[in-house]
């Protein structure tokens, strides 16, 4: 028996626990990356740097566009997020928690839904343009700014602000000389995350950029799936990998340099008074109103039929369409099936990783599991195409690549949401159970499981929602006769005609409802005090 050898529970189980996540990452993350490296660097058995691809004018153009659109998107998102961050950080008002939850919704909406919403919202002519891309990126990332900057802001010492006011500094002056410098670490953190998201943005660019605008991420797809030039695609993926690593490194340095001299004494949020009330109302109402506009238009347009409104687009989801090999209704079922499998895999991989991270034994593993976050989705999908097209693991014909790719994207979120819950379980509870005669497996079942159940539910919901909306990797590996919801939406948008756009929007509303319901449910459960400090 396990207990006879090890007086302390857990030690003996460590290698076994680590095996699952490590094997999963080795096969489905490391191997595809190796496949990309091989394809880009080796030609006819010899090392052959793809300098011709990397130095070509079209690559430079794409790289330049990728960088500047990400930079501009970041600046706009930070500016757009600050008012609501201020309102939430500094004041308490009815519906504050709701506002915090609502602002999160765009962030968890699938990229294809957001892109389609802007197609619906923007007038003809600019609906597929740089402006559309920038706006969609802002829409997505306001949540990041509000959450990160807002929580940091609420921890700042408000007394310096009050002191400056008594010294005669006006609000604008105080913001510039006091608040902004104090917020620098949070702003830098938010900006670097937003930049990374926009830099690796895939669905938004692919749909809103049209044929004219391509980033490294979408160009990998164009070269691999449309031009069938795998060597160029692999070279671009290599470039993307290096660029992402650079961004992460720079962001890390920046954050360390600005690193917090944050006062532990946070200001208590107060009711806004006088003129502040109006400003808070504008910040909250304005931000949420603007954020509600694209999804609202999407819903409205999904119901628009010639001469009024109706459910025609939805009704037609059950009918055959030239855009797909199956009915759209099948795509919905496929998505639910794949997302369920993917959530199962993500939990199977993420739970042991989280357990190890909490025991302090999995520092390296913790980092490893996070890596797929850094690698972009299109890169993962492309790597899958290269790695699993030949024996020994030829998965091309199967449907398994889709849920596995989705699970890879979802696992980091599972670990991140589960680890704090597990950490909050007092180890002495496990010891108390052990002394009362519970064997290590029994302790896990009787103590860890019930106490982490809420965190597990949240992690499962999150993994499901992420898998449901996953597009970047899925579009590479989904079989034509097994499309997921995002893939089906993309196919509809790629065809001309109001009919197809209407169908896409109806599918978007279905996808959005499923995802948003999951995300809000998760946030509600979290907010109800699942985290014990």
Partner 1 sequence: MIRLEGIVVELGGVRILDGVGLEAGEAETLALLGPSGSGKSTLLRVAAGLQPPAAGRVLLDGADITRVPAHRRGVGLVFQDAVLFPHRTVGDNVGFGLRVRGDAVADRRRRVSELLELVGLAGAEQRDVGTLSGGEAQRVALARALAPSPRVLLLDEPLASLDGPLRDRLRDDLHDLFAALRLTVVHVTHDVAEAFALGRRVAVLRDGRIAQTATPDELWSRPADTWVARFLGMRNLIEDDAGLRVVRPEAVHVVPGDDAVVLAVDRRGPLTVLTVRLDGAEELEAATTTLTAPRPGDRVSVEIDPDGVVDVAADPYAEREAAHGRADDADDLPLHPR
Kindly state the smallest distance separating residue 194's Cβ from partner 1, in Å: 39
Interacting residues of 372 by C-beta distance below 8 A, sequence separation 6+: 25, 29, 380, 408, 409, 411, 412
Cβ proximity to partner 1: between 360 and 391 the closer is 360
Cβ proximity to partner 1: between 330 and 454 the closer is 454
Kindly state the smallest distance separating residue 458's Cβ from partner 1, in Å: 17
Kindly give the interhelix angle for 31-41 and 377-387, rounded to the nearest 10 degrees: 80
Kindly state the smallest distance separating residue 440's Cβ from partner 1, in Å: 8
Task: Name beta bridge partners: 47.
Answer: 42
| CA quadruple 94, 96, 101, 104: dihedral sign | positive
Alpha-helical runs (H) found in 359-473: 363-374, 377-387, 401-423, 427-435, 440-443, 449-469
Kindly state the smallest distance separating residue 452's Cβ from partner 1, in Å: 10
Cβ proximity to partner 1: between 157 and 431 the closer is 431
User: 71: buried, middle or exposed (CB in 10 Å: 19+, 13-18, 0-12)?
Assistant: middle
Scanning the structure block, which residue is given the tokens 């079922």?
333
Cβ proximity to partner 1: between 125 and 529 the closer is 529
Determine contact, residues 272/93, Cβ cutoff 8 Å.
yes
Cβ proximity to partner 1: between 183 and 456 the closer is 456
Cβ proximity to partner 1: between 169 and 434 the closer is 434
Kindly state the smallest distance separating residue 422's Cβ from partner 1, in Å: 15
Distance CA(383)–CA(378), nearest Å, equals 8
Cβ proximity to partner 1: between 9 and 474 the closer is 9
Kindly state the smallest distance separating residue 364's Cβ from partner 1, in Å: 20
Fill in the DSSP letter of residue 533: -
User: 480: buried, middle or exposed (CB in 10 Å: 19+, 13-18, 0-12)?
Assistant: exposed
Residue 327 tokens read as 């009915």
Q: Look at strands 46-47 and 304-305 and give their pairing.
A: unpaired
Cβ proximity to partner 1: between 318 and 432 the closer is 432
User: 449: buried, middle or exposed (CB in 10 Å: 19+, 13-18, 0-12)?
Assistant: exposed
Kindly state the smallest distance separating residue 427's Cβ from partner 1, in Å: 10
Fill in the DSSP letter of residue 270: B
Q: What angle do CA 93, 96, 98 make, to 5 degrees?
A: 145
Distance CA(78)–CA(186), nearest Å, equals 11
Cβ proximity to partner 1: between 16 and 47 the closer is 16
Cβ proximity to partner 1: between 4 and 44 the closer is 4
Distance CA(487)–CA(483), nearest Å, equals 6
Cβ proximity to partner 1: between 395 and 451 the closer is 451
Interacting residues of 132 by C-beta distance below 8 A, sequence separation 6+: 118, 119, 122, 126, 208
The total of other beta-carbon atoms located within 10 Å of residue 253's CB is: 12
Kindly state the smallest distance separating residue 425's Cβ from partner 1, in Å: 10
Kindly state the smallest distance separating residue 4's Cβ from partner 1, in Å: 7
Cα 309–chain centre separation: 34
Kindly state the smallest distance separating residue 384's Cβ from partner 1, in Å: 41
Chain residues that interact with partner 1, rule: CB under 8 A? 3-4, 6-9, 426, 428-429, 431-440, 442-443, 446-447, 450-451
Quick one: which H or E segment has residue 238? helix 230-258
Kindly state the smallest distance separating residue 365's Cβ from partner 1, in Å: 22
């Amino acid at each position: 028996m396990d207990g006879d050898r090890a007086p302390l529970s857990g030690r003996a189980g460590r290698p076994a626990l680590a095996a699952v996540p490590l094997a999963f990452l080795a096969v489905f993350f490391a191997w595809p990356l190796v496949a990309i490296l091989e394809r880009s660097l080796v030609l006819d058995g010899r090392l052959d740097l793809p300098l011709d691809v990397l130095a070509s004018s079209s690559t430079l153009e794409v790289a330049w566009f990728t960088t500047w659109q990400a930079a501009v998107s970041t600046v706009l998102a930070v500016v757009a997020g600050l008012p609501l961050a201020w309102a939430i950080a500094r004041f308490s008002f009815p519906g504050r928690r709701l506002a915090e939850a609502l602002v999160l919704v765009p962030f968890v909406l699938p990229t294809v839904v957001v892109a389609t919403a802007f197609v619906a919202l923007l007038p003809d002519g600019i609906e597929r343009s740089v402006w559309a891309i920038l706006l969609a990126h802002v829409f997505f990332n306001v949540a990041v700014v509000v959450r990160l900057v807002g929580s940091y802001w609420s921890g700042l010492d408000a007394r310096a602000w009050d002191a400056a006011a008594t010294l005669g500094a006006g609000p604008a002056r105080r913001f510039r000389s006091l608040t902004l410098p104090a917020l620098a670490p949070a702003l830098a953190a938010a900006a670097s995350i937003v930049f990374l998201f926009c830099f690796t943005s895939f669905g938004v660019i692919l749909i809103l950029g049209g044929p004219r605008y391509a980033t490294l991420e979408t160009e990998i797809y164009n070269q691999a799936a449309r031009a069938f030039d795998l060597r160029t695609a692999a070279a671009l993926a290599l470039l993307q990998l290096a660029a992402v690593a650079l961004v992460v490194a720079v962001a890390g340095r920046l954050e360390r340099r600005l690193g917090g001299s944050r006062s532990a004494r946070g200001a208590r949020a107060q009711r806004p008074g006088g003129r502040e009330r109006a400003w808070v109302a504008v910040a909250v109402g304005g931000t949420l109103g603007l954020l509600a506009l694209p999804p609202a238009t999407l819903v409205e347009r999904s119901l628009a039929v010639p001469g009024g409104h109706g459910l025609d687009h939805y009704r037609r989801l059950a009918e055959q369409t030239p855009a797909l090999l199956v009915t759209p209704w099948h795509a919905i079922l496929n998505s639910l099936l794949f997302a369920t499998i993917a959530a199962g895999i993500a939990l199977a991989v993420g739970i042991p990783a989280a357990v190890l991270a909490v025991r302090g034994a999995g520092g390296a593993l913790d980092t490893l599991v996070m890596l797929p976050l850094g690698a972009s989705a299109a890169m993962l999908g492309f790597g899958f195409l290269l790695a699993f097209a030949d024996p020994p693991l030829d998965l091309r014909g199967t449907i398994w690549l889709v849920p596995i790719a989705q699970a890879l994207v979802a696992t980091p979120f599972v670990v991140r949401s589960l680890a704090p819950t597990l950490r909050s379980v007092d180890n002495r509870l496990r010891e108390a159970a052990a002394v009362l005669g519970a064997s290590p497996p029994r302790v896990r079942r009787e103590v860890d499981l019930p106490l982490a159940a809420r965190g597990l539910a949240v992690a499962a919901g999150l993994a499901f929602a992420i898998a449901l909306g996953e597009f970047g990797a899925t579009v590479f590996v989904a079989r034509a006769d097994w499309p997921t919801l995002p893939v089906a939406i993309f196919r509809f948008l790629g065809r001309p005609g109001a009919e197809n756009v209407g169908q896409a929007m109806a599918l978007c509303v279905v996808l959005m409802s499923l995802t948003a319901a999951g995300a809000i449910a998760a946030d509600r459960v979290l907010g109800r005090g699942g985290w014990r400090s």
